[in-house]
Amino acid sequence: MDVQRLVAMANDIARYFASDPDREAGIRGVADHLRKFWDPRMRRQILAHLDDGGAGLDDLARAAVEHLAHAQAVAGRGS
């Protein structure tokens, strides 16, 4: 999938969760959505995009993708 389409989708999801007054809950909400509903290939692409600078990701979307990356790194260390 085109990475700019993934960025737009992540930003749309983040806009939904931005209404939560608890920023950390919003970050977790976006990250959980990406984990539950995005195909693993889509997650790999957005994580690679973040590694390349994450151009176009809104603040909340970027924080959620960073959260997702951190959670995967921690899970990988447990293996």
Domains of the chain, by residue range, sit at 3-77
* pLDDT band, residue 79 (cuts 50/70/90): very low
Query: How far is 71 from 38, CA to CA, in rounded Å?
Result: 16
- For the chain, how many helices (H) and strands (E)? 4, 0
The 10s digit of each residue's pLDDT in 39-54 is 999 999 999 999 999 9
The 10s digit of each residue's pLDDT in 2-48 is 999 999 999 999 999 999 999 999 999 999 999 999 999 999 999 99
Nearest Cα neighbor of 50 from 36, 66, 37, 39 is 66
